[in-house]
Amino acid sequence: MKRTTEVRPFVLQEWEIYKALRLRALDDAPDAFGSTLAREEAFSDNIWQNRLAGDEASWNLPLLAKVDGEPVGLAWGRIEISDPSTANLYQVWVAPGHRGFGLGKLLLDTIITWAKKKNARYLYLGVTVQDSPAMRLYSRAGFETIGETQPLRPDSKLVEQSMRLKL
């Protein structure tokens, strides 16, 4: 049976969907993100709404991935206002039952296309250092490691590697 896949920007009214997906991501993959489930569970609804409604909305691209109408993934692109040649990728996550079907690549490709249209020269991200689907996805897309590894979070034994893609 053919699956219907959709990747598109979140709209402000979908803040509860964004919140639910982000919290699922932090619960599912606690070692993949700089933030924690406990930290973001404490956020007020106003904080979640403001993330999607930020004053710099044109500098952000929060993406929603759906399969057959079900929200199953997200990613966030951001252009640095202080340096518009620099874009960053955050919060990439796909629900476990939907991995391996190309949704991560589709989210990544959408952010890359957007960053190029915004005239960014580089796209940066951080990824936990391990042999993981995320690391393989970014390497296949042409990202190169840069700089030294750093702790994922304060007091974390895990380390994060910065990567950069020339656009």
Q: Taken in order 154, 157, 158, 160, is the CA torsion positive or negative?
A: positive
- Number of structural domains (the chain) is 1
Distance CA 30, CA 149 (A): 18
> pLDDT digit string (tens) for 69-110?
999 999 999 998 889 999 999 999 999 999 999 999 999 999
CA-based radius of gyration for the chain: 15
Exposed e or buried b per residue across 128-144, where buried means at least 16 C-beta atoms within 10 angstroms of its C-beta: beeeeebbebbeebebe
Average pLDDT rounded to a whole number, residues 57-76: 94
User: 13 pLDDT exceeds 70?
Assistant: yes
> Could you give the count of Cα atoms lying within 13 Å of 16 in the half-sphere of its Cβ?
1
The predicted model scores a pTM of: 0.92
Between 157 and 166, the more confident residue is 166
CATH number at residue 54: 3.40.630.30
Q: The domain containing residue 148 runs over which residues?
A: 5-166
Q: Residue 78 — left, alpha, or beta (φ > 0 → left; ψ -120 to 50 → alpha)?
A: beta
What is the structure's pLDDT at 53?
Answer: 86
